[in-house]
Amino acid sequence: MWRKPAWVILWFLVSGCVYLGRDFATAPIKSIETNVTTQKEIFGYFGEPFRRGLENGYETWTYSYQHYELGQLRDFKDLYVVFNRDNTVRTYSYSGRDGPSASEELSPLDRGPQ
């Protein structure tokens, strides 16, 4: 009795596409400035975060998107934003196959002195 539904589910997972999170535009990432860009602006650029949390007492927002085909990761994007207590961006990081070049994937704090 359980074999047929199990095969249908397995077939769907192996042959179909699976999307996790919500896709988001990467162009606004270039506009993010630490200690300047506000939480309200981040919300305007990317919408509701996939996850909210705290890091050392600072609010964090995570935007995440993953696309799998035939069980393999085909596309991913992760944006992690930490906010100051005044609701400006403290730091951020982006990684993904789509979007800014590698030099823009690091947060300003990770890039070193400018």
Q: How confident is the model at residue 98 (pLDDT cuts 50, 70, 90)?
A: low
Average pLDDT over residues 75-103: 84
Phi/psi for 105 (5° steps) reads: -75, -25
| pLDDT winner (highest mean) among 15-19, 65-69, 76-80, 88-92 | 88-92
pLDDT in tens, 12-30: 555 578 878 888 999 999 9
Q: 35 or 107, which is more confident?
A: 35
Q: pLDDT at position 85, please?
A: 97
Distance, CA of 49 to CA of 71 (rounded, Å): 25
pTM for the whole structure: 0.70
Q: Are 49 and 62 contacting, i.e. CB atoms less than 8 angstroms apart? A: yes
Distance, CA of 23 to CA of 19 (rounded, Å): 9
Q: 113 or 2, which is more confident?
A: 2
Write down the H helix ranges in 1-114: 3-15, 39-46, 102-105, 108-111
3-state secondary structure of 65: strand
The amino acid at 5: P
The amino acid at 86: D
Q: To 5 degrees, how large is the angle CA 38–CA 24–CA 22?
A: 115
